[in-house]
Amino acid sequence: MSAVRTQREEVERSLASGDVRKALELSQALLALDPVNAESLTLRAAALMADDKPDAAVDLLLAAASVDASPRVLGTLAMCQVAASDLSAAVKTFRAVLAERPEDFVCRLAYAESLENLGKADEALPEYFHAVNAAQRQGRWLSDASTGPAMRERVKRAMDVIDDGRLGMFERALQPHIDAFGPDSMARVSKALQVYLGAQAEPARDPRQRPKFFWMPDVPATPFFDGGQFAWYPVLEAATSAIQEELGEVLEGSSKLEPFLQIDSKQMEEEYLAGDAQSRSWDAFFFYRHGKHFDDTRATCPKTSSILAQLPLTHIAGHAPEVLFSVLAPQTHIKPHYGVTNTRVVTHLPLMIPEGDCRLVVGGVEHPWQEGRCVTFDDTFLHEAWNRTGQRRVVLILDTWNPHLTAEECIALKALVESIGDFNRRAHVQ
């Protein structure tokens, strides 16, 4: 085996130095020594590719893949199939590689290019987006300095395809609403889309406000809202006792609660929660999460569910509403953080508020909860909450549209955000 290993190293050196003739000679001799080994077949295929013979390289790599169908061999095969202009075969091979190595951004970029060249631009777009995002998460393709010279033009073109493709896609999602309601009524939504995509510079905003996902410019910056802006407050507040009764049943069966953060590591939890690492907790009983309704909650809390059905919750598939009993353990601090969008606002109905230092802070303004008294705020402002008492704190949390939006804007935003969410899921991007 030492002779085979030495011969492989000689082939690799010849390829690295650009001596194609020698690489061809040595790789042919290597196959005489080691005719069925995938690594030797792959080196011979590399020499054939360097000699501009992709069809012959593909034949060898198909043989190599029959022995070793590893991502390394299949990835090389796919690249050779592209060079041989067999894009349909390349696409199938790329899919097999990416099933094993989904974050292989170079392979995914070539896959996207192949789809596009096959006339499948709609399929290619999320793959381009996935490739660039995967690379940038790993510190690559952020600039010329972090992009290899051989890849720079391809990466820049991919970014242009992404920019043009996403803009066109989301503008098509918005267009029916522009047609229905008129361009003036959709001006703020259109501007928000341009800002979201980076096609327009972000206007100045309140420095306390930092939306993590989607920001609607020209909407008044309002940390806390006046209760008179929500006609449904009296309905919800009048049901406080009934909701508290059902909350008591939930708390008695504590197995119905789950961690709000869904984080296993106490170290990662440190980013979000402060307090005694052994006893701190932020638990939840969900009625909705990311827009998904949990049917079993209706049986557990029928009165609360009936009240929720009367409220104008923000319904966006895959995104909203988020409705839950939020249970904050004694001596637990939810650290300062930002929400995702100012197009919807968060309401708390306080249900169990212990005496002592237990409050909400939004945009630097403190608010002590009062049982049965709703409070609504824009969580894209820096906000935090703490319970520095010896008992649990529980509030009902729910999402509704920002009252500064028009009904027409809400309709358009629902369609637009669902379109964005659908695309991001296709691109496997959070």
The pLDDT value given to residue 430: 74
pLDDT at 324 over 90: yes
pLDDT tens digits for range 34-49:
788 888 888 888 889 8
> What mean pLDDT do residues 178-192 have?
97
What gap in Å lies between CA 347 and CA 210, rounded to an integer?
A: 19
The pLDDT value given to residue 419: 97
> Which residue from 341, 258, 243 is spatially nearest to 300, judged by alpha carbons?
243
With the C-alpha atoms ordered 268, 273, 278, 284, is the resulting torsion angle positive or negative?
Answer: negative
The pLDDT value given to residue 377: 98
Are 244 and 304 in contact by the 8 Å Cβ rule? The answer is no
> What mean pLDDT do residues 302-328 have?
96
Q: What confidence category does residue 160 fall into, taking pLDDT thresholds of 50, 70 and 90?
A: very high
Q: Based on the number of CB atoms within 10 Å of its own CB, is 202 exposed (0-12), middle (13-18) or buried (19 or more)?
A: exposed
Amino acid found at 154: R
Name the E strands within 317-411: 323-328, 332-337, 344-352, 358-362, 365-368, 375-377, 383-387, 393-401
- In this structure, what token pair is assigned to residue 120? 């499948």
pLDDT tens digits for range 82-105:
999 999 999 999 999 999 999 999
> What mean pLDDT do residues 269-281 have?
83
pLDDT at 427 over 70: yes
The pLDDT value given to residue 204: 92
The pLDDT value given to residue 387: 95
User: The pTM is what?
Assistant: 0.88
pLDDT tens digits for range 345-370:
999 999 999 999 999 999 999 999 99
Q: What confidence category does residue 150 fall into, taking pLDDT thresholds of 50, 70 and 90?
A: very high
Are 352 and 371 in contact by the 8 Å Cβ rule? The answer is yes
The pLDDT value given to residue 323: 97
Half-sphere exposure of 385 (CA within 13 A, CB side): 22
Q: What confidence category does residue 1 fall into, taking pLDDT thresholds of 50, 70 and 90?
A: low
Q: In terms of DSSP bridges, do strands 258-259 and 323-328 run parallel, antiparallel, or are they unpaired?
A: unpaired
pLDDT at 281 over 80: yes
- Name the percent of the chain lying above pLDDT 70: 99
> What mean pLDDT do residues 163-184 have?
97
What gap in Å lies between CA 39 and CA 36, rounded to an integer?
A: 9
pLDDT tens digits for range 7-64:
888 888 988 898 889 988 888 888 888 788 888 888 888 889 889 999 999 998 898 8
The pLDDT value given to residue 128: 98
pLDDT tens digits for range 369-421:
999 999 999 999 999 999 999 999 999 999 999 999 999 999 999 999 999 99
